[in-house]
């Protein structure tokens, strides 16, 4: 038994009753294959056509819905033939000469064109893996939904998977695809009719939540989503936990799509500051802070272009010989309004925005230039320590860029030292070791910064080409008051020596701290007791005119 064919629904928006009579007369020969629905405006009947992508709209110019409000293919009804083709419509009909044959051809043309356009649109706006909307499709969909009801009654969620790229690299792309399909299934299970889901990127999703019935529904949906996303995933028989960060932003009357997506993104970034599966609701205070950060990021980009950054150098003292044997390069930003900014004011922002890579290359280049300048003044060679971020380790141009800079500056690579944090070393030890080995072949050496504040593995410490451990100032600063600090620092020194590594103590500020470090057998010390970080001109004076010797005598 064949399935009955649904009649074609024709929606007529016309304020003249003559159009309804004429169209019904032309449709009479088509029998039950088409039905004409007459309405005074699109807003009155839009809910009836939300899920119908096959219906057609026939309307006169003065009642034609605004662009983006109506998704139906449109046929414009005119009293006379237009001089130029009307914009924004699929076809048009002229009252004079309209008959059943003309109407039938027009309807067939518009339907076939609509099928083709829908297919092309779907391919362009659909994620091929999951079948949900992609970024382009979601932007179209969001604009249309915001045009309804002046944008009220909606909330936008921006969800980002934590560590998906790491799982993708470890498991392989096919397993990563299966993981994404499970993620989409879980998200769909928490959504209802009127909600929509889209994939914005490889591990980013957008959720449009209908809150017309209950304004607090978005928070309830967010709670359920983070709960279900926290459950383990099963991929190829293995259990896998993936965190997620979800930001929620409520729409406001007549607000645009771009501010809404920006607000949801800000809230997602706030959620990222907490481990595991979490969500955050956007508020204006966060928005003000985010705009301040965005302004600061723009200023930092300009500062890099305008050479507003400078390096200060903090000397390192050898506790056996009493000589200055090294320097640590510390970046400063001479801000036009806020004065000289320390790294803590802008380096985290550079890490977050990706500017840490060009900033890092600037620091290396300037440090090598200043090493060359010190040698040209006849000063003894000193180890130059430069902080290297994990993001720079991931940059494919690190090795060739460093090789070029060393060659251009004419310095010996053995005097260049890169400081790494425990967090960077532990994040991707395989990648870190591979890059460190390649850089080590150039001749540079490595130190592990802030030792004791992270989660170092002795296996990694022993396998990575690290020459020095730097004991964090938080341990050094409390040695004179706390026996636990003294024991910890002493144990760190012994551990490093057992691994054939040198030890540098940071944040040394008192003669008592220096005496304890000598007692423990620490190799080098760095801190305000020896010298504060100095700009190049002051550093030259410190090293050239006996200031270094005077400082050393003072602390010996």
CATH for 459: 3.20.20.450
Q: What is the largest CA-CA distance in the chain?
A: 110
Q: Are residues 169 and 262 in the same domain?
A: yes
Q: Are residues 24 and 148 in the same domain?
A: no
Q: Are residues 397 and 438 in the same domain?
A: yes
Domain end: 80, 99, 125, which one? 125
Within-domain flag for 311:
yes
Q: Does residue 389 carry a pLDDT above 50?
A: yes
For the ranges 183-197, 199-213, 339-353, the lowest mean pLDDT is seen at: 339-353
* pLDDT single digits (tens) 397-408: 888 899 999 988
* pLDDT single digits (tens) 123-141: 667 888 888 888 888 888 8
Domain count, the chain: 3
* pLDDT single digits (tens) 82-133: 888 787 788 899 998 899 999 999 998 888 887 777 676 666 678 888 888 8
Q: Domain range for residue 390?
A: 305-555
- E-strand ranges in 176-323 read 196-199, 204-210, 233-235, 238-240, 244-250, 278-281, 309-318
Q: Are residues 228 and 157 in the same domain?
A: yes
CATH for 185: 3.30.70.270
Q: Are residues 332 and 390 in the same domain?
A: yes
Q: Does residue 52 carry a pLDDT above 80?
A: no
Within-domain flag for 93:
yes
Domain end: 282, 313, 340, which one? 282
Nearest to 284 by CA among 270, 272, 296, 300: 270
201, 219 in Cβ contact below 8 A? no
Within-domain flag for 130:
no
Q: Are residues 59 and 179 in the same domain?
A: no
Within-domain flag for 287:
no
Q: Are residues 356 and 479 in the same domain?
A: yes
Nearest to 510 by CA among 480, 472, 469, 551: 480
Q: Report the C-alpha gap between 335 and 270 in whole angstroms.
A: 27
* Higher-confidence position of 179 and 429: 179
Q: Are residues 501 and 355 in the same domain?
A: yes
Q: Which pLDDT does position 308 carry in this prediction?
A: 87
Q: Are residues 101 and 149 in the same domain?
A: no
Within-domain flag for 258:
yes
Indicate whether this model's pTM tops 0.85.
Answer: no
CATH for 99: 3.40.50.2300
Q: Are residues 433 and 536 in the same domain?
A: yes
Q: Which pLDDT does position 66 carry in this prediction?
A: 81
Alpha helix stretches (DSSP H) within 126-230: 135-147, 164-171, 173-189, 217-229
Q: Which pLDDT does position 252 carry in this prediction?
A: 79
If you count them, how many residues does the chain have? 556
* Average pLDDT value for residue range 412-425: 82
Q: Are residues 430 and 485 in the same domain?
A: yes
* pLDDT single digits (tens) 267-299: 888 788 776 788 988 876 655 555 566 677 778
* Average pLDDT value for residue range 144-155: 81
Q: Report the C-alpha gap between 271 and 328 in whole angstroms.
A: 35
Q: Does residue 390 carry a pLDDT above 80?
A: no
* Average pLDDT value for residue range 374-394: 88
- Burial label, 222 (beta-carbon count in 10 A; 0-12, 13-18, 19+): buried
C-beta neighbour count of 234 within 10 angstroms = 12
Domain end: 125, 146, 175, which one? 125
Q: Are residues 271 and 309 in the same domain?
A: no
């Amino acid at each position: 038994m064949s399935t009955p064919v649904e009649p074609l629904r024709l929606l007529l928006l016309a304020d003249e009753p003559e159009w309804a009579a004429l169209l019904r007369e032309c449709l009479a020969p088509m029998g039950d294959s088409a039905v004409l629905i007459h309405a005074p405006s699109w807003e009155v009947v839009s809910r009836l056509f939300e899920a119908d992508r096959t219906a057609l709209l026939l309307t006169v110019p003065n009642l034609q819905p605004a662009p983006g409000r109506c998704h139906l293919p449109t046929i414009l009804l005119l009293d006379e033939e237009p001089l130029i083709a009307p914009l924004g419509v699929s076809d048009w009909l002229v009252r004079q000469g309209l008959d059943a044959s003309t109407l039938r051809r027009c309807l067939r043309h518009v339907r076939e064109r609509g099928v083709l356009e829908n297919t092309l649109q779907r391919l362009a706006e659909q994620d091929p893996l999951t079948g949900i909307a992609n970024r382009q499709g979601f932007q179209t969909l969001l604009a249309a939904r915001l045009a309804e009801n002046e944008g009220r009654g909606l909330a936008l969620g921006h969800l980002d998977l934590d560590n998906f790229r790491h799982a993708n690299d470890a498991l392989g792309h096919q397993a990563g695809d299966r993981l994404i399909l499970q993620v989409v299934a879980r998200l769909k299970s928490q959504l209802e009719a009127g909600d929509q889901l889209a994939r914005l990127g490889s591990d980013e999703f957008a959720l449009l939540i209908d809150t017309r019935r209950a304004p607090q529904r978005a928070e309830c949906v967010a709670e359920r989503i983070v709960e279900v996303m926290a459950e383990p995933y099963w991929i190829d028989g293995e259990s896998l936990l993936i965190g997620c960060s979800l930001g929620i932003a409520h729409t406001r009357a007549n607000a645009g799509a771009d501010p809404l997506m920006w607000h949801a993104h800000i809230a997602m970034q706030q959620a990222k500051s907490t481990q595991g599966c979490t969500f955050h609701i956007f508020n204006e205070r966060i928005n003000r802070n985010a705009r301040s950060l965005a302004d600061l990021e723009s200023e930092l980009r300009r500062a890099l272009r305008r050479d507003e950054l400078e390096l200060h150098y903090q000397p390192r003292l050898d506790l056996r010989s009493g000589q200055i044997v090294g320097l640590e390069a510390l970046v400063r930003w001479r801000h036009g309004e806020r004065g000289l900014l320390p790294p803590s004011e802008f380096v985290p922002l550079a890490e977050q925005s990706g500017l840490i890579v060009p900033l890092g290359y600037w620091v290396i280049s300037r440090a090598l230039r200043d090493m060359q300048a010190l040698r040209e003044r006849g000063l003894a060679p000193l180890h130059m320590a430069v902080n290297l971020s994990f993001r720079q380790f991931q940059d494919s141009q690190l090795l060739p860029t460093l090789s070029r800079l060393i060659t251009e500056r004419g310095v010996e690579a053995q005097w260049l030292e890169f400081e790494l944090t425990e967090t960077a070393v532990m994040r991707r030890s395989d990648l870190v070791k591979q890059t460190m080995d390649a850089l080590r072949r150039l001749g540079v050496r490595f130190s592990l910064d802030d030792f004791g504040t992270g989660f170092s593995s002795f296996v990694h410490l022993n396998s990575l080409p690290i020459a020095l451990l730097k004991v964090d100032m938080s341990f050094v600063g409390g040695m004179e008051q706390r026996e636990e600090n003294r024991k910890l620092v002493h144990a760190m020194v012994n551990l490093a020596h057992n691994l054939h590594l040198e030890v540098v103590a940071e944040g040394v500020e008192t003669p008592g701290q220096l005496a304890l470090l000598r007692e423990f057998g620490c190799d080098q010390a760095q801190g305000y007791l020896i010298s504060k970080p100095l700009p190049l001109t002051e550093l030259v004076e410190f090293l050239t005119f006996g200031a270094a010797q005077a400082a050393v005598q003072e602390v010996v």
